[in-house]
Amino acid sequence: MATAFTLRDATPADVPVVVHFVRALAEYEKLLHEAKGTEADFAEALFGPTPRAAAIIAEADGKPVGLCVWHRTFSTFTARHGIWVEDVFVEPAYRGRGIARAIFRRLAQQVKDEGGGRLEWNVLDWNEPAIGAYRAMGARGLDQWTMQRVDGAALDRLAE
């Protein structure tokens, strides 16, 4: 039996919930050692004077059961903005109930309502359940593109 759920925008009171789910996702992805964001960091990023991201909380059975953190992007090729889904996590007991799909549907509608052109995200290549769900939503992999990253000491050196 499917459990009813709701989606809502996160509020400052949800910062501990955001941190909890980010750490749960990091653990699932075997990247907990990289999850360094604190409650203060997330409060500033989501609700500070210049918010850099936003979050959606999924609730079922009277409690938070999922999270999406997202931010806006811009495509020079289309000259339109989009939304980048940084993280989506649903508690294992609530997976398969349409929560993640509802989150993506909500963000897709937001992109369209705002006149944007893209909804994008990354997925680890070993996460077959997620890849299958994304393909079922109509997502396509961009295999010809490789993600690049500069962080840590390399970022420091590049900034000098």
* Cα–Cα distance, 159 to 85 (Å, whole number): 26
Choosing from 131, 134, 141, 142, the catalytic residue is 134
Active site residue 94: no
Active-site residue set: 134
